[in-house]
Amino acid sequence: MWVCSAPSNIALIKYMGKQEGNIPSNVSLSYTLNKFSSEVSLEVWENEDVFINKMNLAEESVRRFLGHLNHIKNVTNCRKFFRIRSQNNFPHSVGIASSASSFAALTICSFRAMCSLENIPLPSPEEMSRISRNASGSSCRSFFSPWSLWDGENAMMANIEIFELRHNLLLLNKTPKAIASSEAHKRVRSSLLFSGRADRARARLNKLIPALNNNWREAYQLCWEEFWDMHALFETSSPAFGYFLPETIAVLQEVRRFWQNYQDGPLATVDAGCNVHLLWREDQEKSQKCLITKLRPMIESLI
């Protein structure tokens, strides 16, 4: 049996909109969330692939999982069958990039199993990242830590000096989202705001990387502008849709008040969902405890 895990990631410069082959419409930058991970195990099975669906994934999700497994079989020329198990240590389908970590874990585990069985070299992380991207775009970023830059076909480790950040996930709703990210990628192209989106993301990235090292307040402002830019695409697409709950707005308003009162605070971002991520410097432990105390009554749980 082979057992592998891979982390989730949270994008500060968002990936939204794509071309064939999950090539992103714009550059993205993500922070790797090593405490949120997916684990995949493979064992050789009898005469068909069997997926143990403990997470109650939708049929389409299972089909994508098995399809990716078969793609890697073709790459490695492996003709074995497997029993596959997968599990997360966090909720799936709520905007925490569960597909990123699960497909990255499946890619790593599949290659380790099949390369061992076929006695062939294991591909590099960069090559596995590119192959994983075909199944789940954002999974290509989960091969690099702590920072990953994804531009076109390739993801790579980003050279950012600030290494370890404190992270809070404010879980406002555990219900799977009504509009999957794959559908969101299609709809945003109908928004009038989509034109120029790639240029705006690139311009923010060019400012954000130095700001993370030298100007935390500017980094906060850039991250704030960026997630609102993405969610504005959702609200102005045809048909329009959105992920924010009243609780999302309440939490974000409290984060903004904290910054206004103390002239310091966390980076805040929201992926394609309602839940809020906060990232803090290591020296902000007291501020982190102070803000989380204020936010606890508004959130369902804190991870």
Q: Domain-by-domain residue ranges, the chain?
A: 2-157, 166-302
For 166-302, CATH number out of 3.40.50.11290, 3.30.70.890, 3.90.1150.10, 3.40.50.150 equals 3.30.70.890
**pLDDT score of 177:** 82
Instruction: Give the architecture (CATH level 2) of 2-157.
Output: 2-Layer Sandwich (3.30)
CA atoms within 13 A on the CB side of 233: 27
- Among 34-38, 54-58, 161-165, 198-202, which range has the highest average pLDDT? 198-202
Distance CA 111, CA 101 (A): 16
Strand 50-52 relative to strand 81-88: parallel, antiparallel, unpaired?
parallel
Q: Are 107 and 123 in contact (CB under 8 A)?
A: no
- Among 47-51, 84-88, 281-285, which range has the highest average pLDDT? 281-285
Q: Is 266 left (phi over 0), alpha (psi -120 to 50) or beta?
A: beta
Q: Is the pTM for the entire model greater than 0.85?
A: yes
Phi then psi for residue 33, to 5 deg, are -100, 85
Give the model's confidence band at 92: pLDDT under 50 very low, under 70 low, under 90 confident, else very high: low
**pLDDT score of 97:** 66
Give the model's confidence band at 151: pLDDT under 50 very low, under 70 low, under 90 confident, else very high: very high
Q: Is the pLDDT of residue 59 over 90?
A: no
Instruction: Specify the 3-state DSSP secondary structure of 84.
Output: strand
Phi then psi for residue 83, to 5 deg, are -100, 125
**pLDDT score of 269:** 98
Phi then psi for residue 21, to 5 deg, are 85, 15
Percent of the chain with pLDDT over 90: 81
Q: Is the pLDDT of residue 116 over 90?
A: yes
* 2-157 shares its CATH topology with 166-302: no
CA-to-CA dists, residue 60 to 29, 67, 239, 258, angstroms: 28, 10, 23, 42
**pLDDT score of 90:** 78
Query: What average pLDDT does the segment 156-162 reach?
Result: 92
Instruction: Specify the 3-state DSSP secondary structure of 77.
Output: coil
**pLDDT, tens digit, for every residue of 229-261?**
999 999 999 999 999 999 999 999 999 999 999
CA 223 to chain centre: 15
Strand 28-45 relative to strand 147-151: parallel, antiparallel, unpaired?
antiparallel
Q: Are 73 and 107 in contact (CB under 8 A)?
A: no
Distance CA 38, CA 100 (A): 9
For 165, the token pair is: 């950040």
Least confident window among 81-95, 107-121, 214-228, 285-299: 81-95
**pLDDT score of 145:** 95
Average pLDDT score over the chain? 93
